[in-house]
A and B are shown apart, each in its own frame.
Chain A
């Protein structure tokens, strides 16, 4: 019997391997060659099309498992489509269904990737917000602030945040919020520096200073990004949050910490 050619349709996003019926042992050597060729390709995503597969020879299964592991080693991913109910059950019984990442179609794979893809973070945009924060504090609070290292967080807000000023943003490339967060002690010092007024407590009358600072930071960043990067951030009214509750993050949260003579505070950027 001549070598069976495996259909390897390479569409724009995925490299698709149309598998022959792997119930038969003799196809294994051909599959092995095609898998080796697939591993050399640049595609990040590889899809096994099981539409012609009625059964799985043990050697063929071993080849596919090795393919999945080899892809994982080079940070590439394997998906499977057109897997029959019988085969799917067999994979489940062997505990390998997750390894094959089974979907109904490549459209479903695309939707899954779009939902779970880590958002792209533009370093220049972050730097603009850092500079805008420095300008707002220098101009209105009359203090210098020092940015710390930007990191990710697993929660939104911290337990000692007493007040926050937030703007919600929806623009091409970013949907989420930018929030400045203060502890009580730091906020009272900042309020005193802005208004020369000692406050007993942070309440709805005094909390809007956080909103106003966020307003200034956002407004300045909006102007700069429009002028230098043609990024048109939309107008946004700040929201004031009093005693915000800590929430577990379900999406990416960036933390931009600052230190100052009034104490430390943060800007959190939450990607929706």
Chain B
């Protein structure tokens, strides 16, 4: 599982959802967070973060720059090619999931979600990015 000191970038246009994601992550032992309201702001935050962000949890459906477009920008930069990325979405259409996988998402989670479900997804993301630890 991710180190509890991992810096998590939480991206969602809804403040309530950012609070909820942070609360769930806090319940799982994490305590370092950065936040952004949309994909454009998230990329700036990601690029400026020092120490670097260790995990991105991003909503899909946002104004200005969607989570998918944010993911595309992230994967286009060599320094962020391997940044673990979890997408949150209210829809579970297979075409949408396929698109996200093609672009390079590590996993996705359907809203509503529980802390247990988030824990499972984060474990899956960690194992994917750290196969030696699996």
* Partner-B contacts on A (CB < 8 A): 135-136, 138-140, 191, 194-197, 205-206, 208-209, 211-212, 215-216, 218-220, 222-223, 226-227, 235, 237
Contact = CB atoms under 8 A, between A and B. Distances in A.
B20 A195 contact: yes
Given A219-B89, A219-B91, A223-B92, A140 B15 contact: no
Contacts of B19: 195, 197
Given A215-B90, A218-B90, A219-B61, A206 B16 contact: yes
A140 B23 contact: no
B16 A212 contact: yes
Mostly helix, strand, loop or mixed at chain B's interface?
A: loop
A206 B15 CA distance: 7
A76 to B, nearest CB: 45
Which of B15, B16, B19 neighbours the largest number of chain A CB atoms within 10 Å of its CB?
Answer: B16
A194 B20 contact: yes
A208 B18 CA distance: 11
Given A139-B113, A237-B61, A237-B63, A220 B91 contact: yes
B114 interface: yes
A195 B112 contact: no
Contacts of A206: 15-16
Nearest to A194: B20
Nearest to A207: B16
The size bracket of the interface on B is: 20 to 34
Interface in B72-101: 89-93
A223 B89 CA distance: 11
Given A140-B20, A206-B15, 6 more contacts: A136-B112, A194-B20, A208-B16, A218-B90, A219-B111, A223-B93
Contact of B91 (A135, A194, A212, A222): A222
B112 A140 contact: yes
A209 B23 CA distance: 15
Contacts of B89: 219
B1 interface: no
Contact of A235 (B61, B111, B112): B61
Interface of B: 13-17, 19-20, 23, 61-63, 89-93, 111-114
Contact of B14 (A136, A208, A227, A235): A208
A215 B13 CA distance: 12
B94 to A, nearest CB: 9
A204 to B, nearest CB: 9
Contacts of A237: 13, 61-63
B127 to A, nearest CB: 25
A211 B13 CA distance: 10
B61 A194 contact: no
Contacts of A194: 16, 20
A223 B60 CA distance: 15
A95 B62 CA distance: 58
B16 A209 contact: yes
Contact of A135 (B15, B17, B112): B112
A208 B15 contact: yes
Nearest to B114: A139
A195 B92 contact: no
Contacts of B23: 195-196
A218 B111 CA distance: 11
Contact of A139 (B16, B61, B63, B112): B112
B39 to A, nearest CB: 13
6 contacts: A139-B111, A140-B113, A209-B16, A218-B90, A222-B93, A226-B93
